[in-house]
Amino acid sequence: MKNTPFTDYHIAAGARMAEFAGYNMPIEFSGIVDEHLAVRGGAGLFDVSHMGEIRVRGGAAFDMLQHIATNDLSRLTDGKAQYSCMPNGRGGIVDDILIYRIAAEEYLLVVNASNIDKDWAHIVSHAARFGLAPWAGLWNESDATAQLAIQGPLAMRIAQEICSAPLDGLAGYSFVTETVAGIPDALLSTTGYTGSGGCEIYVPVAHAAQLWDAVWQAGSKHGLKNIGLGARDTLRLEKGYCLYGNDIDDKTSPIEAGLGWITKLVPGKDLIDRPLIEKQLAEGVSRRLVGFEMTERGVPRHDYVLAAPEGRAIGRVTSGTMSPMLKVGIGMGYVETPYAASGTEIAVVIRDRPVAARVVKTPFV
**CA–CA gap between residue 216 and residue 229 (Å, rounded):** 19
Give 181's pLDDT tier (boundaries 50, 70, 90). Answer: very high
Residue 21 Cα to chain centre, angstroms: 14
Contact 202, 142 (CB under 8 A): no
**CA–CA gap between residue 266 and residue 248 (Å, rounded):** 23
DSSP state of 255: T
pLDDT tens, residue by residue, 96-147: 999 999 999 999 999 999 999 999 999 999 999 999 999 999 999 999 999 9
HEC profile of 260-298:
HHHCCCCCCCCCCCHHHHHHHHHHCCCEEEEEEEECCCC
**What pLDDT score does 55 carry?**
98
Q: What percent of the chain has pLDDT over 70?
A: 100
Please name the amino acid found at residue 126: H
**CA–CA gap between residue 256 and residue 57 (Å, rounded):** 32
Give 272's pLDDT tier (boundaries 50, 70, 90). Answer: very high
Give 347's pLDDT tier (boundaries 50, 70, 90). Answer: very high
Burial of residue 325 (CB within 10 Å: 0-12, 13-18, 19+) is middle
**CA–CA gap between residue 185 and residue 178 (Å, rounded):** 5
Partners of 360 in the β-ladder: 291
Give 293's pLDDT tier (boundaries 50, 70, 90). Answer: very high
Please name the amino acid found at residue 352: D
Residue from 192, 208, 116, 113 nearest 155 by CA: 192
Contact 347, 357 (CB under 8 A): yes
Give 354's pLDDT tier (boundaries 50, 70, 90). Answer: very high
* Cα–Cα distance list, 96 to 169, 211, 337, 358 (Å): 27, 27, 23, 27
**What pLDDT score does 123 carry?**
98
**CA–CA gap between residue 22 and residue 348 (Å, rounded):** 32
**CA–CA gap between residue 84 and residue 107 (Å, rounded):** 13
Give 26's pLDDT tier (boundaries 50, 70, 90). Answer: very high
Please name the amino acid found at residue 168: D
In three-state secondary structure terms, 20 is strand
Residue from 81, 169, 77, 69 nearest 127 by CA: 69
pLDDT tens, residue by residue, 214-250: 999 999 999 999 999 999 999 999 999 999 999 999 9
Q: Count CB-CB contacts under 10 A for residue 269.
A: 17
**CA–CA gap between residue 204 and residue 145 (Å, rounded):** 5
DSSP state of 203: E
pLDDT tens, residue by residue, 143-177: 999 999 999 999 999 999 999 999 998 999 999 99
DSSP state of 219: H
Contact 219, 158 (CB under 8 A): yes
Question: Integer distance in angstroms from the first to the last C-alpha of the chain?
Answer: 35
* pTM > 0.95: yes
Q: Map out the domains of the chain with their CATH numbers.
A: 7-48+144-238 (3.30.1360.120), 286-360 (2.40.30.110)
Give 71's pLDDT tier (boundaries 50, 70, 90). Answer: very high
**What pLDDT score does 358 carry?**
98
In three-state secondary structure terms, 173 is coil
**What pLDDT score does 52 carry?**
98
Give 295's pLDDT tier (boundaries 50, 70, 90). Answer: very high
Enclosing H/E stretch for 183: strand 183-189
DSSP state of 355: E
**CA–CA gap between residue 272 and residue 94 (Å, rounded):** 11
At residue 244, what are phi and psi to the nearest 5 degrees? -65, 135
**What pLDDT score does 82 carry?**
98
Mean pLDDT, residues 274-292: 98
User: How wide is the angle at C-alpha 325 spanned by C-alphas 297 and 364, nearest 5°?
Assistant: 80
Residue 29 Cα to chain centre, angstroms: 21
